[in-house]
Amino acid sequence: MTIQRTDKVLQVSKLNPNVVNVEYAVRGELAIRAEQLKEQLASTPGSLPFKTITNCNIGNPQQLEQKPITFFRQVASLVDYPDLLKPENAQITSQLFKPDAVDRARTLLAAMGGSSGAYSHSKGIPLIRKHVADFIEERDGYPANPEHIFLTAGASPGVQLVLQTLIQNSNVGIMIPIPQYPLYTASIALFNGKAVPYYLDESAETFGLDIVELKRSIQEARNSGVDVRALCVINPGNPTGQVLTEESMKDIIRFCHEEKLVLLADEVYQTNIYLSTLPFHSFKKVLKSLGPAYEGLELISFNSVSKGMVGECGRRGGYFECTGVSDDIIDMFYKVASVSLCPPVQGQVMVDLTVRPPKKGDPSYPEYRAEIDAIYESLKRRATKLAAAFNSLEGVICPPAQGAMYLFPRIVLPQGAIDAAQKAGKQPDALYCMEMLNATGVCMVPGSGFCQREGTWHFRSTFLPPENQLDSFIDSVAHFHNSFVKKYSN
Ligand code: DCS
């Protein structure tokens, strides 16, 4: 006989309220509807006015046909199936894999004690952390210490580990950009801290970061009693795509120094840079260039294998580097990392490959270079083409992408749409995105999911749809937009 339980222990009203309060738009209402439509297309083909779902809601390049980098996957397969490295398989292996892939796999296997199925050190495999430190040194021209580097399962758990440790109580404030990537609002809510918004200055050209606004924001928060402890900067920006100048980064560092803030630098898009006039500078390099006066500043920088030209989001690899952070704090991070045992070893392998790709003269270099360059050039072309297409729509202003993987156009919605949204209990840009999804199969994220200045509406689209599908993608979005404006203007 089964016992009927009428009063479940697990009820929303009895859960951790911080969990209940979390919102995460890139995987929210729109993404859920997109999944339903995908299932409908599979079970009842022809039942919808489109044939496929195009997921522009998330920066997930390989979901949209981007090919993995051959060398990376070769090493990953050899590491996962080391029988291929046995002498009796040498002939097959040499037909399929270049010698540098075989060498790298052997080195990595030795560094992980022989199997990718074993737990590693909780901060990540020491050799890979050493390679990350070498990469940072070469990138910035300043030394990096492997003991100050933590490998993580993508940048997200790194950000969460740091926020969780930093948020001492519910009065601790973390400054975040608005618009922001919702990892920040969601994690701050989860750990019961206070998000302290600073607004990026939107123009037709870009989203600027202004020190006057940082001062306003911290002043306002402190006046209302919030204990502001850290400033988060996303550079290049998500969803806003701006790239900071070195001057502006120096101002931010000085601001953090004066205000006694930890600087959290989210640099996951550091190779997604599209203008030669706006190169990427790491906060670590700019901080070091300012000399001993700023030595004391605490900086934590994040990177990931999910972005760039690598796009290996599903492998879950990333790292963070601590600069100017005391050893006892690093020990606390280590303790928390140990609770999750270790980051995925496959993700760590991807970090190794990302920071130590084939070099000129290596057998795999020509193919590697060609693949990276092709992805980069294509991303740049798609960014430009899509921004132009958005700008040609009535009531839409779209700054070009200086970096990252997204466009974040501002949209002026007809009053009819705003009224209809209010009636449906939705944000107007959420209504726009939902109607777009239902009409075209294109899934974007409304600006309200990233927060935005009150009274403005946006949507975020990746520019990741394959290049050969971009024209039809643009046509269907433009067709939808015109019908939407017409429908709600009457
Ligand atoms: N930081 C920023 C600014 C991001 O955009 C993302 C992912 C992350 C961190 C975390 O990525 P990983 O954990 O995979 O390293 N961006 C999400 C987005 O906006 N679309 O796709 C995922």
Q: Are 271 and 309 in contact (CB under 8 A)?
A: yes
Q: Is the pLDDT of residue 204 over 60?
A: yes
Parallel, antiparallel or unpaired: strands 406-407 and 396-397? unpaired
* Backbone φ and ψ of 291, nearest 5°: 85, -175
> Is the pTM above the cut of 0.85?
yes
Neighbours of 156 (CB within 10 A): 19
For residue 15, the SS3 value is coil
Instruction: Tell me the domain boundaries of the chain.
Output: 12-65+370-489, 70-112, 126-355
DSSP 431-477: HHHHHHHHHH-EE-EEGGGG---TT--BEEEES-S-GGGHHHHHHHH
Q: How far apart are CA 270 and CA 292, in angstroms?
A: 26
Q: Give the tens place of pLDDT for each residue, 262-313.
A: 999 999 999 999 999 999 999 999 999 999 999 899 999 999 999 999 999 9
What does the pLDDT average to over 256-260?
A: 97
CATH architecture type of domain 12-65+370-489: Alpha-Beta Complex (3.90)
Q: Which fold has domain 70-112?
A: Helix Hairpins (1.10.287)
Ligand 1 probe mutation, 304, 310, 315, 459, most atoms within 8 A of CB: 304
Q: How far apart are CA 20 and CA 475, in angstroms?
A: 39
Whether residue 100 has its Cβ less than 6 Å from ligand 1: no
Mean pLDDT rounded to a whole number for the chain: 95
Q: Give the tens place of pLDDT for each residue, 367-425.
A: 999 999 999 999 999 999 999 999 999 999 999 999 999 999 999 999 999 999 999 99
Ligand 1 probe mutation, 56, 280, 307, 315, most atoms within 8 A of CB: 307
Q: At what angle do helices 246-259 and 211-223 cross, to 10 degrees?
A: 20
Q: Is the pLDDT of residue 1 over 60?
A: no
Atom of ligand 1 nearest to the CA of 159: 9
Tally the C-alpha atoms within 13 A of residue 286's C-alpha that lie toward its C-beta. 20
Q: How far apart are CA 192 and CA 188, in angstroms?
A: 6
Domain 126-355: top CATH class: alpha beta
Report CA(57)–ligand 1 centroid distance (Å). Answer: 12
Atom of ligand 1 nearest to the CA of 404: 5
Ligand 1 probe mutation, 163, 178, 183, 243, most atoms within 8 A of CB: 183
As given in the structure block, the two tokens for residue 266 are 């989210």
**Shared fold status for 70-112 and 126-355:** no
Residue of 322, 339, 404, 389 whose CA lies nearest to 129: 322
pLDDT of residue 26: 63
Whether residue 465 has its Cβ less than 6 Å from ligand 1: no
Q: How far apart are CA 219 and CA 70, in angstroms?
A: 50
Q: What secondary structure letter does DSSP report for 173?
A: E
What does the pLDDT average to over 91-102?
A: 96
Report CA(83)–ligand 1 centroid distance (Å). Answer: 35
* Kind plus residue range of the DSSP H or E element containing 302: strand 299-304
Residue with tokens 């606390």: 332
